[in-house]
Amino acid sequence: MFRYLIPLIVFVVLVAFFAHGLQRDPSLVPSPLIDKPLPDFSLPLLQSPDTVMTSGDLGGEVTLLNVWASWCVACRYEHPVLMKLSQQGTVRIVGIDYKDTRREALQWLEKYGNPYAASFFDESGEVGIDLGVYGVPETYVLDRNGVIRYKHVGPVTDEILDETILPILQRLRQEESS
Protein backbone atom coordinates (compact mmCIF):
# COMPACT_ATOMS: atom_id res chain seq x y z
CA MET A 1 0.00 0.00 0.00
CA PHE A 2 2.76 2.39 0.99
CA ARG A 3 4.68 2.06 -2.29
CA TYR A 4 1.80 3.62 -4.23
CA LEU A 5 2.29 6.77 -2.20
CA ILE A 6 5.95 7.13 -3.20
CA PRO A 7 5.30 9.04 -6.47
CA LEU A 8 2.93 11.36 -4.61
CA ILE A 9 5.51 12.02 -1.92
CA VAL A 10 8.21 12.66 -4.53
CA PHE A 11 5.84 15.05 -6.28
CA VAL A 12 5.08 16.96 -3.10
CA VAL A 13 8.78 17.28 -2.29
CA LEU A 14 9.48 18.59 -5.80
CA VAL A 15 6.64 21.09 -5.52
CA ALA A 16 8.13 22.34 -2.26
CA PHE A 17 11.51 22.89 -3.89
CA PHE A 18 10.00 24.62 -6.91
CA ALA A 19 7.78 26.83 -4.76
CA HIS A 20 10.83 28.00 -2.84
CA GLY A 21 13.10 28.35 -5.84
CA LEU A 22 10.68 30.16 -8.14
CA GLN A 23 10.26 32.94 -5.63
CA ARG A 24 13.95 33.79 -5.75
CA ASP A 25 15.72 35.95 -8.31
CA PRO A 26 18.42 33.87 -10.01
CA SER A 27 20.19 36.92 -11.38
CA LEU A 28 21.12 38.26 -7.95
CA VAL A 29 24.79 37.77 -7.23
CA PRO A 30 25.53 37.55 -3.49
CA SER A 31 28.37 39.77 -2.43
CA PRO A 32 31.53 38.21 -1.01
CA LEU A 33 32.21 41.51 0.76
CA ILE A 34 29.62 41.06 3.51
CA ASP A 35 31.20 41.38 6.98
CA LYS A 36 34.42 42.61 5.41
CA PRO A 37 35.69 46.17 5.69
CA LEU A 38 34.87 48.52 2.87
CA PRO A 39 37.66 48.22 0.26
CA ASP A 40 40.11 51.13 0.31
CA PHE A 41 39.56 53.77 -2.27
CA SER A 42 39.99 57.49 -2.72
CA LEU A 43 37.88 59.55 -5.08
CA PRO A 44 37.12 63.19 -5.76
CA LEU A 45 33.78 64.49 -4.60
CA LEU A 46 31.08 65.18 -7.15
CA GLN A 47 30.30 68.68 -5.97
CA SER A 48 33.83 69.78 -5.15
CA PRO A 49 36.16 68.18 -7.66
CA ASP A 50 39.24 69.42 -5.83
CA THR A 51 38.36 67.56 -2.67
CA VAL A 52 39.44 63.95 -2.47
CA MET A 53 37.99 61.66 0.16
CA THR A 54 38.78 58.09 1.07
CA SER A 55 36.78 55.09 2.20
CA GLY A 56 38.35 55.57 5.62
CA ASP A 57 36.48 58.87 5.94
CA LEU A 58 33.24 56.89 6.06
CA GLY A 59 33.91 55.46 9.50
CA GLY A 60 32.46 56.87 12.68
CA GLU A 61 28.77 56.33 12.10
CA VAL A 62 26.40 53.87 10.47
CA THR A 63 26.14 54.82 6.80
CA LEU A 64 24.17 53.89 3.73
CA LEU A 65 26.47 53.89 0.71
CA ASN A 66 24.36 54.22 -2.41
CA VAL A 67 25.76 53.68 -5.91
CA TRP A 68 23.77 55.77 -8.41
CA ALA A 69 23.99 57.50 -11.79
CA SER A 70 22.05 60.07 -13.76
CA TRP A 71 21.58 57.60 -16.63
CA CYS A 72 20.11 54.95 -14.36
CA VAL A 73 16.32 54.77 -14.59
CA ALA A 74 15.87 52.54 -11.56
CA CYS A 75 17.77 55.11 -9.47
CA ARG A 76 15.00 57.61 -10.17
CA TYR A 77 12.56 55.01 -8.93
CA GLU A 78 14.26 54.64 -5.55
CA HIS A 79 15.12 58.31 -5.22
CA PRO A 80 11.98 59.42 -3.29
CA VAL A 81 12.69 56.70 -0.72
CA LEU A 82 16.22 58.02 -0.21
CA MET A 83 14.97 61.60 -0.06
CA LYS A 84 12.51 60.64 2.65
CA LEU A 85 15.22 58.83 4.60
CA SER A 86 17.55 61.81 4.42
CA GLN A 87 14.82 64.28 5.40
CA GLN A 88 13.92 62.16 8.42
CA GLY A 89 17.57 62.07 9.39
CA THR A 90 17.36 58.33 10.01
CA VAL A 91 20.82 57.54 8.70
CA ARG A 92 23.64 59.24 6.84
CA ILE A 93 23.50 58.54 3.11
CA VAL A 94 26.65 58.83 1.03
CA GLY A 95 26.55 58.40 -2.71
CA ILE A 96 28.93 57.07 -5.33
CA ASP A 97 28.16 58.52 -8.73
CA TYR A 98 29.10 55.67 -11.05
CA LYS A 99 30.37 56.12 -14.63
CA ASP A 100 28.63 59.42 -15.06
CA THR A 101 29.47 62.91 -16.26
CA ARG A 102 29.76 65.59 -13.64
CA ARG A 103 27.46 67.94 -15.47
CA GLU A 104 24.63 65.45 -15.87
CA ALA A 105 24.99 64.15 -12.34
CA LEU A 106 24.79 67.63 -10.83
CA GLN A 107 21.80 68.45 -13.02
CA TRP A 108 20.10 65.26 -11.89
CA LEU A 109 20.58 66.14 -8.21
CA GLU A 110 19.38 69.66 -8.87
CA LYS A 111 16.24 68.35 -10.55
CA TYR A 112 15.31 65.46 -8.27
CA GLY A 113 16.85 66.50 -4.97
CA ASN A 114 20.03 65.55 -3.15
CA PRO A 115 19.69 63.07 -0.28
CA TYR A 116 23.43 62.56 0.01
CA ALA A 117 25.69 64.02 2.67
CA ALA A 118 28.23 63.86 -0.16
CA SER A 119 28.73 61.92 -3.36
CA PHE A 120 31.95 60.37 -4.52
CA PHE A 121 32.58 60.66 -8.25
CA ASP A 122 33.66 57.33 -9.74
CA GLU A 123 33.96 58.38 -13.35
CA SER A 124 35.76 55.32 -14.68
CA GLY A 125 33.90 52.74 -12.62
CA GLU A 126 37.14 51.35 -11.19
CA VAL A 127 36.02 51.77 -7.61
CA GLY A 128 32.78 50.10 -8.64
CA ILE A 129 34.77 47.02 -9.63
CA ASP A 130 36.48 46.99 -6.22
CA LEU A 131 33.08 47.10 -4.59
CA GLY A 132 31.63 44.37 -6.78
CA VAL A 133 29.12 46.67 -8.45
CA TYR A 134 27.37 45.05 -11.39
CA GLY A 135 23.93 46.66 -11.54
CA VAL A 136 23.16 50.19 -10.49
CA PRO A 137 21.55 51.13 -8.08
CA GLU A 138 23.24 49.21 -5.31
CA THR A 139 23.15 50.10 -1.64
CA TYR A 140 25.62 49.04 1.05
CA VAL A 141 24.94 49.25 4.76
CA LEU A 142 28.14 50.12 6.62
CA ASP A 143 28.53 49.94 10.36
CA ARG A 144 30.48 52.63 12.17
CA ASN A 145 33.73 50.71 11.75
CA GLY A 146 33.33 50.84 8.00
CA VAL A 147 32.46 47.15 7.72
CA ILE A 148 29.94 46.17 5.05
CA ARG A 149 27.09 44.49 6.85
CA TYR A 150 24.55 44.22 4.05
CA LYS A 151 24.26 44.88 0.34
CA HIS A 152 21.10 45.43 -1.63
CA VAL A 153 21.16 45.22 -5.41
CA GLY A 154 18.43 47.10 -7.21
CA PRO A 155 16.24 50.02 -6.16
CA VAL A 156 15.44 50.41 -2.49
CA THR A 157 11.67 50.39 -2.16
CA ASP A 158 9.62 51.28 0.90
CA GLU A 159 9.03 47.57 1.39
CA ILE A 160 12.71 46.70 1.33
CA LEU A 161 13.41 49.59 3.61
CA ASP A 162 10.85 48.49 6.18
CA GLU A 163 11.47 44.76 5.95
CA THR A 164 15.22 44.61 5.61
CA ILE A 165 17.21 47.81 5.90
CA LEU A 166 15.58 49.51 8.87
CA PRO A 167 15.81 46.35 11.02
CA ILE A 168 19.50 46.06 10.15
CA LEU A 169 20.07 49.70 11.06
CA GLN A 170 18.30 49.12 14.34
CA ARG A 171 20.42 46.10 15.08
CA LEU A 172 23.59 48.06 14.35
CA ARG A 173 22.45 50.86 16.64
CA GLN A 174 21.86 48.33 19.40
CA GLU A 175 25.34 46.94 18.86
CA GLU A 176 26.73 50.40 19.29
CA SER A 177 25.07 51.00 22.60
CA SER A 178 25.95 47.63 24.11
35-64 positions binding other proteins, by CB under 8 A: 39
Q: How far is the CB of 178 from other proteins (least distance, A)?
A: 31
* # binding residues, other proteins (CB under 8 A): 18
Contact between 135 and other proteins by CB under 8 A: the answer reads yes
Please list every residue from 68 through 97 that binds other proteins, using CB under 8 A. Answer: none
Q: What's the farthest any 2 CA atoms get from each other in the chain? A: 80
| Stretch of 73-81, 110-118, 126-134, 143-151 contacting other proteins, by CB under 8 A | 126-134
Q: What distance in Å separates the CA atoms of residue 11 and residue 5, rounded to the nearest whole number? A: 10
Under the criterion CB under 8 A, does residue 29 sit at the interface with other proteins? yes
First to last CA, the chain: 59
Edge-to-edge order in the sheet of strand 148-153: 118-122, 92-98, 63-68, 138-142, 148-153
Pick from 2, 4, 19, 32 the residue near other proteins by CB under 8 A.
32
Q: For 88-147, where are the E strands, in sequence order? A: 92-98, 118-122, 138-142
Cα-Cα-Cα-Cα dihedral of 27, 32, 38, 40, to 10°? -100
Distance CA 51, CA 35 (A): 29
Site for other proteins (CB under 8 A): which residue of 76, 99, 102, 173? Answer: 99
> Is 130 an interacting residue with respect to other proteins (CB under 8 A)?
yes
Binding status of residue 146 toward other proteins by CB under 8 A: no
Our finding on whether 144 is near other proteins (CB under 8 A) is no
Q: Angle at Cα 81 formed by Cα 79 and Cα 86, nearest 5°?
A: 95
Q: Which residue's CB is nearer to other proteins, number 35 or number 126?
A: 126
User: Which span sits near other proteins by CB under 8 A: 40-48, 131-139, 141-149, 160-168?
Assistant: 131-139
Q: Does 33 bind other proteins (CB under 8 A)?
A: yes
